[in-house]
C-alpha cells in the first residue's frame, strides 16, 4: 500500500504557518510623534532663535495636555532646558513644581541683583504618586532680552511616594553684558535628560528677579515668548553673545497621556569674526543738571564670539570733549544746559568696531524722586510678620527734597512715612525696613505690594515714583509646602530643620513660623496645632 501524500493545499498551508511562526513579531506603531524645527539653519551670536514644531497622536493633532521638553546643547555642553505646552494643560501632574525662588547665598528669597553678583535658586517639587519616580530637576536663567546665561543647574534623585524635595541651585553669576530689567528663571522636572529621551512631568514654573542697571531701567515684564495651539508649539529666545562656534543640537522629547516621542534638529554658529555691539547707560537718568557728576557705563557692550573681548571705548560727549579708555566706565560734568549727543565707539580684540549714540538732556535744575528697590518674601503666611525693605533716592539736584512715602497692599495703605530734606543725588539715598503684620490676609490669593512716593511740584519723571512686587502666594500658617493641606510633610519640613538659623545649610524661612530666626519647639507646636487643616478648593 502506497503512503498517503498530502494534498498541495495542505502542504502550502503548513508552510505558511511555519513561516509565520518563525517571523519576528510586528513592530508596534509609534502612536505619538513630535517634530522640531528652527527658523534658520545658521545663526550668529546674540541673534534671535525660534524653535517650533508639532505634536500628533495617532496622526491627529494633540489639542491639549501635550508637553514638549526642549534641551539645547552647544558643541560642548547644555545651554538651556525648557518645557513648552501644546494646547492648554488641565491635568493634575503626578510630579509637580510647587515653587521656584531666586535667593541669596543663605537661600533667603531675593528679588534684585547687580551684574557680576551671584544668584541662587530654590525649587520645591512634590511627588503626588503612590510609587517612586526618577526625576531630573533643572533651572535655566534668561535676562530680559531672552539671552540665557550660566550653565543650566541640575538635580537628580529618586522621589519617594508623596515626597517633597527642596532642591537648591547655584551660584549663577550674572554676566556684565546682561540687560538691566526683569530676568526670568525657569524650573523644569523631567524623567531624565531630554537628550536621553527623558520627558517632562509637568509644565515649567518661572519666577522673575531684577538685574539692577545704572539707570535702574526696569521694563514691565521680562522677555518670555511661548505660544501653543492645537498640534503646535513655539519658543523664542536669543543666543548668548558669548556663543561658541560649531554645531548646536535641539533635543525635543514629548509626553502625552503616558506616551512619549523624540526628535532632534541641528543648526550651526559659524566661527565669525563678528563686529561687537555698543551700548551704554548713564546717570542721572533720563535727565541730568548743570554741574552734576554724571557716570556713563558701557559694560553692556559685547564682543560677539566665544572668548572675544572689547579693548577700547571711545567717548564723544557732544560738547567738544572726546575721551578714549580701555575700561567701560567714565564720569562727565556738563557746565551748561542743553541736549547733547553722546556717541560711544567700541573696538574688540580683532580690530572690529561698532558705535551707538544717545541724546542726553541737561537741565538747570532737576526734581526727581524714585523708588529704586522693594524687597519682601513673595511666598508668605497669613498671620505672620514680613519685613518689607525699600530704597528711595533723590535723583534730582542740586537741591534736597521733602516728600511722603506710602506702603500699600493693592490700594490699601498699610503704613506711611514723611521724609524731610533728602540730599540730592548721589548721596540722597534712604533705605527703610517695615515690619508688616499679615493678619487678615486671605490665603491663596495674590496681592500687589507697592511703595509709592508723592510727586514733587515740577517733577520731571513720575513713572519711577512707585515700585510694585507681586506676592505670589499667601498660605495658611503651617502649610510649608504650599499645597493647601497641613499634613505630615509640613511637620517634617519643620522638624527636619530643628535648631537651624539663618545662614545654616538647611535653613528655610518658611519653617520659621513664629519668626524669631530659629526653628524650635514653638514652630513645631505651631504646625502640629494645625495638623489636618485643609483649605477648601
Confidence of residue 227 (pLDDT cuts 50, 70, 90): low
Q: How far is CA 404 from the centre of its chain?
A: 33
In this prediction, residues 276-281 reach a mean pLDDT of 94
pLDDT tens across 175-188, in order? Answer: 999 988 889 999 99
- Is the pLDDT at 22 greater than 60? The verdict is no
Higher-pLDDT residue of 194 and 224 is 194
* pLDDT value of position 285: 85
pTM score: 0.74
Q: Over pLDDT 70: what percentage of the chain?
A: 92
In this prediction, residues 334-347 reach a mean pLDDT of 97
pLDDT tens across 41-80, in order? Answer: 999 999 999 999 999 999 999 999 999 999 999 999 999 9
pLDDT tens across 432-467, in order? Answer: 999 999 999 999 999 999 999 999 999 988 999 999
* pLDDT value of position 215: 62
Backbone dihedral angles phi then psi of residue 96, each to the nearest 5 degrees: -140, 150
Q: Over pLDDT 90: what percentage of the chain?
A: 81
Q: How far apart are CA 355 and CA 315, in angstroms?
A: 10
- Is the pLDDT at 420 greater than 60? The verdict is yes
444 Cβ partners below 8 Å, 6+ apart? Answer: 473, 474, 475, 484, 535
In this prediction, residues 287-315 reach a mean pLDDT of 93
* pLDDT value of position 441: 96
Number of Cβ within 10 Å of residue 20's Cβ equals 8
Q: How far apart are CA 449 and CA 243, in angstroms?
A: 38
- Is the pLDDT at 19 greater than 80? The verdict is no
Least Cα distance to 370 among 347, 396, 332 occurs for 396
Give the angle 293-297-303 at the CA atoms, nearest 5°. Answer: 160
* pLDDT value of position 342: 98
The answer to which of 6-10, 227-231, 271-275, 454-458 has the lowest mean pLDDT is 6-10
pLDDT tens across 129-185, in order? Answer: 999 999 999 999 999 999 999 878 899 999 999 999 999 999 999 999 998 888 999
Strand-pair category, 353-363 with 287-289: parallel
* pLDDT value of position 6: 46
Q: How far is CA 414 from the centre of its chain?
A: 30
Three-class DSSP category at 40: coil
Three-class DSSP category at 488: helix
Q: How far apart are CA 97 and CA 100, in angstroms?
A: 8
312 Cβ partners below 8 Å, 6+ apart? Answer: 324, 325, 326, 346, 347
In this prediction, residues 475-503 reach a mean pLDDT of 94
Q: How many residues does the chain have?
A: 537
Three-class DSSP category at 139: strand
In this prediction, residues 211-229 reach a mean pLDDT of 58
The answer to which of 98-107, 217-226, 321-330, 346-355 has the lowest mean pLDDT is 217-226
* pLDDT value of position 21: 39
Q: How far apart are CA 146 and CA 224, in angstroms?
A: 7
pLDDT tens across 362-399, in order? Answer: 999 999 999 988 999 999 999 999 999 999 999 999 99
Q: How far apart are CA 321 and CA 391, in angstroms?
A: 34
Higher-pLDDT residue of 193 and 4 is 193
Q: How far apart are CA 537 and CA 533, in angstroms?
A: 12
Instruction: For 193-258, list the strands marked E by DSSP.
Output: 205-212, 225-229, 232-238, 246-256
* pLDDT value of position 7: 54
* pLDDT value of position 225: 58
Domains in the chain (CATH in brackets) are 32-269 (2.60.40.10), 281-363 (2.60.40.10), 369-475 (2.60.40.10), 488-528 (no CATH)
Amino acid at each position: 500500500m502506497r503512503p498517503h501524500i498530502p494534498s498541495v493545499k495542505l502542504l502550502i498551508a503548513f508552510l505558511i504557518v511555519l513561516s509565520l511562526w518563525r517571523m519576528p513579531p510586528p513592530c508596534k506603531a509609534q502612536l505619538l510623534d513630535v517634530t522640531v524645527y528652527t527658523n534658520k539653519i545658521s545663526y550668529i551670536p546674540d541673534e534671535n532663535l525660534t524653535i517650533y514644531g508639532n505634536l500628533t497622536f495617532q496622526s491627529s493633532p494633540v489639542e491639549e495636555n501635550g508637553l514638549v521638553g526642549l534641551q539645547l546643547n552647544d558643541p560642548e555642553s547644555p545651554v538651556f532646558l525648557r518645557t513648552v505646552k501644546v494646547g492648554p494643560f488641565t491635568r493634575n501632574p503626578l510630579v509637580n513644581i510647587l515653587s521656584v525662588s531666586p535667593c541669596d547665598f543663605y537661600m533667603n528669597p531675593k528679588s534684585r541683583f547687580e551684574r557680576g553678583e551671584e544668584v541662587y535658586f530654590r525649587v520645591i517639587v512634590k511627588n503626588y504618586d503612590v510609587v517612586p519616580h526618577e526625576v531630573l530637576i533643572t533651572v535655566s536663567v534668561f535676562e530680559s532680552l531672552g539671552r540665557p546665561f550660566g550653565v543650566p543647574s541640575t538635580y537628580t534623585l529618586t522621589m519617594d511616594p508623596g515626597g517633597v524635595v527642596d532642591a537648591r541651585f547655584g551660584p549663577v553669576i550674572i554676566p556684565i553684558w546682561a540687560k538691566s530689567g526683569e530676568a526670568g528663571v525657569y524650573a523644569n522636572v523631567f524623567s531624565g535628560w531630554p537628550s536621553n529621551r527623558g520627558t517632562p512631568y509637568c509644565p515649567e514654573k518661572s519666577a522673575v528677579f531684577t538685574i539692577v542697571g545704572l539707570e535702574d531701567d526696569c521694563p514691565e515684564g521680562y522677555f518670555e515668548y511661548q505660544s501653543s495651539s492645537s498640534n503646535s508649539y513655539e519658543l523664542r529666545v536669543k543666543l548668548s553673545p558669548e556663543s561658541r562656534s560649531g554645531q548646536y543640537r535641539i533635543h525635543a522629547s514629548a509626553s502625552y497621556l503616558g506616551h512619549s516621542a523624540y526628535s532632534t534638529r541641528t543648526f550651526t554658529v559659524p566661527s565669525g569674526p563678528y563686529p561687537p555691539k555698543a551700548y551704554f547707560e548713564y546717570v542721572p537718568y533720563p535727565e541730568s543738571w548743570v554741574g552734576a557728576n554724571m557716570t556713563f557705563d558701557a559694560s553692556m557692550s559685547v564682543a560677539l564670539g566665544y572668548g572675544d573681548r572689547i579693548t577700547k571705548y571711545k567717548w564723544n560727549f557732544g560738547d567738544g570733549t572726546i575721551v578714549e579708555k580701555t575700561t567701560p566706565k567714565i564720569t562727565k560734568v556738563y557746565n551748561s544746559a542743553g541736549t547733547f549727543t553722546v556717541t560711544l565707539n567700541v573696538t574688540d580684540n580683532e580690530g572690529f568696531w561698532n558705535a551707538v549714540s544717545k541724546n542726553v538732556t541737561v537741565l538747570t535744575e532737576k526734581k526727581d524722586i524714585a523708588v529704586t528697590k522693594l524687597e519682601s518674601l513673595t511666598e508668605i503666611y497669613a498671620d505672620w510678620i514680613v519685613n518689607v525693605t525699600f530704597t528711595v533716592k533723590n535723583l534730582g539736584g542740586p537741591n534736597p527734597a521733602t516728600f511722603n512715602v506710602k506702603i500699600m497692599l493693592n490700594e490699601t495703605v498699610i503704613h506711611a512715612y514723611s521724609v524731610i530734606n533728602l540730599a540730592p543725588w548721589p548721596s540722597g539715598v534712604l533705605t527703610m525696613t517695615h515690619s508688616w503684620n499679615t493678619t487678615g490676609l486671605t490665603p491663596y490669593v495674590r496681592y500687589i505690594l507697592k511703595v509709592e512716593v508723592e510727586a514733587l511740584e515740577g517733577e520731571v519723571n513720575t513713572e519711577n515714583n512707585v515700585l510694585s512686587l507681586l506676592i505670589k502666594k499667601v498660605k495658611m500658617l503651617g502649610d510649608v509646602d504650599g499645597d493647601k493641606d497641613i499634613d505630615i510633610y509640613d511637620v517634617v519640613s519643620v522638624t527636619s530643620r530643628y535648631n537651624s538659623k539663618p545662614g545654616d545649610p538647611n535653613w528655610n524661612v518658611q519653617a520659621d513660623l513664629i519668626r524669631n530666626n530659629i526653628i524650635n519647639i514653638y514652630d513645631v507646636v505651631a504646625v502640629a496645632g494645625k495638623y489636618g487643616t485643609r483649605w477648601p478648593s
